[in-house]
Structure 1
Amino acid sequence: EVPALPGGEGLVMVANVASGTSDRVRALCDALPDAEVVECEPEDIPAELEKAADHARVLGVCGGDGTVNAAAEVALRHGLPLAVLPGGTLNHFAYDLGVEDVRDLCGALERGEGVRVDVGRFASGGRQGVFLNTFSLGVYPELVREREHWSSRIGGWPAGVLAAVRVLRADRHP
């Protein structure tokens, strides 16, 4: 069950400033004036998430996949709902939840709407953690695989364009 947070009261949002989140965070502060927002550098995120979880009714996060995964682990450990504001590059997880911008998140928070999601756990090389994931079939995984092959050589955006051309022109995808 997710509590309704009129004006954002009870939300503590931790934002990764390295993810280019400042515009989204300002919009969130305007829309939910009673929310607490903590903007921090990537290395401070784990500690800030722990501090936020100590007094939040809902733990919020704005950043990329790594930031969201870190927040999911803290929220799970503290038994808190997690509010995700897209702030990374692709934001597949937030988009799959139906949260594309501040308006979507604010509406859900004020109405107390949420969805239950699966969380995966991993242990590898002495490290443990959790991860959130989305699942795609068809052309998209092929595009990602091809983009990752080229991005270290020619950069992300050019690799994306090259991947689209190569995958969409080929007859090798499902």
Structure 2
Amino acid sequence: MARPRPESFDKAKVVAENRRARYDYAIEDKYEAGIALTGTEVKSLRFGEGSIAESYAEVKDEEVWLINANIPEFSHGNRFNHEPKRPRKLLLHQREIAKLHGAVARQGMTLVPLSIYFNSRGRAKVELALARGRKAPDKRAHEKEKDWKREQGRLLRQHG
């Protein structure tokens, strides 16, 4: 029997967050993926450095890769330092990879990283979202709906 997935992931320390993704994309599903890093990349992330603002993920040869994520070189890394924008392999189950590949290929969806964080066990993880791009009118409607929900909450608190 499959283990039930938690509603939210165990984020002990968030390193990088892609706040723009929630505005540009309508998020359908979220996945927690491990990330294959070298030693200097982990040290750089532990110091809170890293950016996923312009990054995305793609499925290639039954593997998922994080493209264009910037993890700057570690200051004391000398010759063992890494390349800051190299593609990094994401670690997912085969069934999850097949599901993501089908959604991207057939439904025209996008794999967007939402955040990089360390869980309570100290492992670096990526919160990956299966998302559909929003057009400008959709963004305006989403903003209007969000504002109305905020106003509704205010009114209920005042008169509730």
Determine if the TM-score, normalized by the shorter chain, exceeds 0.5.
no
* TM tier, smaller: under 0.3
Would you tell me which structure has more helix in proportion to its own residues? 1
Would you tell me which structure has more strand in proportion to its own residues? 2
Higher relative contact order (CA 8 A, sep 6+): 2
Structure 1 length-normalised TM: 0.25
Structure 2 length-normalised TM: 0.26
